[in-house]
Structure formats: structure tokens, C-alpha cells
Amino acid sequence: MSERRAQAWAGVDAGKGHHWAAVVDETGATLWSKKIDNDESAILSALGEILDLADEVHWAVDISGTSSALLLALLAAHGQQAVYVPGRTVNRMSGAYRGEAKTDARDAYVIAETARHRSDFTTIDVPAQLAADLALLTAHRADLVADRVRMINRLRDVLTGVFPALERAFDYSSHKGALVLLTGYQTPAAIRRRGRSRLTAWLAKRGVRGADAVAATALEAAQAQQTALPGEDVAAQIVAGLAEQILTLDDRLKRIDKQISETFRTHPQAEIIESLPGMGPILGAEFIVAAGDLAAYADAGHLASAAGLVPVPRDSGRRTGNLHRPKRYSRRLRRVFYMSAQTSMMREGTNRDFYLKKRGEGCKHVQAVIALARRRASVLWALLRDGRIFTSVPPLTQAA
């Protein structure tokens, strides 16, 4: 049996069907390197072998999502904690080692070596049940939204090929009545034959608000095109099917939004998070998922830095004072603060005043929104630290 080491570093190249783990010692020598099936018994067996190699094992993985969920949960259950080594870092570090071949075994070795040389990687926390539920729900919602965008783009493309006037007449991403119209009528001739009064009645029967206005707009588009284009009948069937799918998808989104809201509001700090203007339950849920353990942020600057809202210098030669967006940050967390800032500055109040102040200082729209997002990160961190909800009047002023 080989000598037991004081420390070892285990790098895991994670995958859906299997992982590859490599373990190195203080000198970088490989102690263990094997393929591990992504099932509980195989992971536990490998875990036992690796833990026997050293008194203390430092774990690192290149994926912190669903592919490594079982692995990370089993590590946590055995008192082991892993850090996340981004794929970009692994690719760059690969050039520092001999050979050009790319294999799972080599990637796992590079991950282990990178973790051995660096101690600044983010620790991966296995989420509690509530955070795990919100992570699944928000990820599923993001998939549905992406599907909806794809379907609408496809619908507009097909409709443009046979009835461009009707394609221009409505914003199909937000106009439910227009989608309902397309489930029954997709060609100029069909709309003209129906007529305004009967089309209005047809739409009203299906719960369309402003049915007369929708019918009038559709009829105006139909009058503008008297020519039937090739492929019109087949295109009409495709458009009708896409419209029905989008409406069904909208119903699914409503249900999942309700589920996310109900789940988010069981979080002990939900009321505080949602009290910040522009931060509704959906963005609040995404914040919980993206931020992780809020106790991990020592101050507001750490939270803002994690969201990529704190610029870093990129000096070179005589060029100094060049500040740029950092390369390592949570894009999801940045999106939460950016979207909430953009929503909040649309209404009168301190957020809009701050945005207009930055625009007056010469900032472009995106720069001003990012500056507002940075400010709001500090506000939210302070609210969570103090356990109080947001008010437009500062606490000291209120006490006075």
C-alpha cells in the first residue's frame, strides 16, 4: 500500500454520463486517475479510494451545474468541499503542461494542478432545499422563455413570407389578441371574407380585449394586400400551429411564475429582497439562486464584485487608469441587478433621479444603469445585513 500523504488535490472533469478524477500530491505527481460513472455507488467507491490517499483532500470541479449535482451532494455528505475552476481557466492552464492532446484524464489533471497552485477559486455550496427548488424552477422558466422567443421569431418569419402587412401590424411578443387572431385567420383573403363585425365577435368570444381594434387592424392589413403568395395555405397552417403553441406556452409560464413566487416568498428574507424597487419575486428568486449563501459576502463591495459591477484596472505600459468589466463574475447575478435597476429607473423616485444624474454627467444609458445597479447592490446588502425592508426615507431621517 502506498504511503498516505498529508495533502492531495483532486480535480474532476465532470460530465453527464461519467466523470474523470485525477489526484496529485504536493509535487504534482499523479496519485490516482480514473473514470467514474455518474451514479451513487461508483462515486462513493471512488470517494473512498481518494480519501484513503491523504489526510486532507482539496477538491476542484469544472462544472457546478446539474452534471455534477450528485457528486457535489455526496462530497458534502462526507464533509468535503469543492471549488469551481472555470473551463476557460482550465483551457489556459493546459498550455503550461506538456502535450497537446485533450482528454478527460488530462483535463482532470490540469484541474487538480490548477487548484494546487491557486487558492482564490470560489467554493461551491450545495444548496439547501429551498434554493435547490428555486434553481430548478428559474432554470425551467428560462428554458420556456427561450422557447417562446424562438417560436415568435419563427412565426414572424413565416408570416412575413405570405402576409407581411399583418406581420408588421402587431407586436406578437406581447399582444395576446394578435396570437388568438392567428389561430383562426392567417391570410388576407380569409380576413376579408370574415369582415370586421364577425371577426370582432369571433375574437370577443375567445376573450380578446379590444376585439374591435384588433379586427380593424387586421382588416386594414388585409385590404393592403390583394395578392395571394405561393405557399400561402401551408404557411397558414404553420402560423396557426405556432400561435397555438405560444399561447399554450404563455399559460405554462403563468403557472410557473406563480409557483416561483409562492416558493420564493417562503424564504426568510423574501420580504426584504422584494421591498427593493424593481425587484419582484422572479428576479428575487434568481437573486437567491445566483447569490448563494448571503453570509459569504463580507461587505457590499464583495456582492457588487461577484456581480461584475466593480471595474478592474487593465494598465499596460504608460497607459494607466483603464477600468474594465472583470472577466470572472456571475453573469446571472449581474443580470438580476441590471434588470432590476432598469425597471426601477422607469418610475419617479430616487432610482430615476440617480440614473438621470449619471446621464447628465455624460454616461451612456448602459453605463448609467450599471452605475445604478452598483448602488442598488450596496443598498440590498445593507438591508439584508440589518434585516429591514426598503423605505424611501433613510432610517436616520426617520428617527429624526
Residue 225 has pLDDT above 50, yes or no: yes
Q: What is the pLDDT of residues 257-312, one digit of tens each?
A: 999 999 999 999 999 999 999 999 999 999 999 888 777 788 898 899 888 888 76
Residue 317 has pLDDT above 80, yes or no: no
Q: Tell me how crowded residue 223 is: count the other CB atoms within 10 A of its CB.
A: 12
What does pTM read for this prediction? 0.76
Residue 323 has pLDDT above 60, yes or no: no
d(CA 166, CA 219): 9
Average pLDDT on 21-49 reads: 94
Q: Tell me, what's the pLDDT at 50?
A: 95
Q: At 33, which helix (H) or strand (E)?
A: strand 30-37
d(CA 182, CA 286): 34
d(CA 47, CA 51): 6
Q: What does DSSP say about strands 82-84 and 122-124: parallel, antiparallel, or unpaired?
A: antiparallel
Q: Tell me, what's the pLDDT at 87?
A: 81
Q: What is the pLDDT of residues 352-397, one digit of tens each?
A: 999 999 999 999 999 999 999 999 999 999 999 999 999 877 665 4
What one-character-per-residue DSSP string does 275-338 give? HSTT--HHHHHHHHHHH--GGG-SSHHHHHHHTT-S-EE--BTTB---EE--SSS-HHHHHHHH
Between the alpha carbon of residue 52 and those of residues 23, 56, 236, 347, the distances in Å are: 12, 9, 66, 60
Average pLDDT on 208-237 reads: 93
Banded pLDDT at 228 (limits 50, 70, 90): confident
Residue 321 has pLDDT above 90, yes or no: no
* R_g over Cα of the chain: 28
Q: Tell me, what's the pLDDT at 86?
A: 84
Burial of 309 (0-12, 13-18, 19+ CB in 10 A): buried
What one-character-per-residue DSSP string does 350-380 give? HHHHHHHHHHHTT--HHHHHHHHHHHHHHHH
Banded pLDDT at 319 (limits 50, 70, 90): low
Residue 96 has pLDDT above 70, yes or no: yes
3-class secondary structure, 131 = helix
Q: Tell me, what's the pLDDT at 322?
A: 57
Between the alpha carbon of residue 48 and those of residues 12, 28, 216, 259, the distances in Å are: 15, 21, 72, 40
Burial of 63 (0-12, 13-18, 19+ CB in 10 A): buried
The percentage of residues in the chain with a pLDDT greater than 90, rounded to a whole number, is 68
Residue 175 has pLDDT above 60, yes or no: yes
Q: Tell me, what's the pLDDT at 395?
A: 60
Q: Tell me, what's the pLDDT at 312?
A: 65
Q: Which of 67-71, 91-95, 173-177, 211-215 has the lowest mean pLDDT?
A: 91-95
Residue 216 has pLDDT above 50, yes or no: yes
Q: Tell me, what's the pLDDT at 94?
A: 80
Identify the DSSP state of 62: S
Q: Tell me, what's the pLDDT at 178?
A: 96
Residue 1 has pLDDT above 70, yes or no: no
Residue 101 has pLDDT above 90, yes or no: no
Q: Which one, of 75, 32, 60, lies nearest residue 117 by Cα? A: 60
d(CA 37, CA 48): 15
Q: Which of 177-191, 202-216, 289-303, 373-387 has the lowest mean pLDDT?
A: 289-303
- CB-side neighbour CA atoms (13 Å) of 358: 19
3-class secondary structure, 30 = strand
d(CA 172, CA 154): 11
The most confident of the ranges 114-128, 205-219, 322-336 is 205-219
Tally: H helices and E strands in the chain: 18, 8
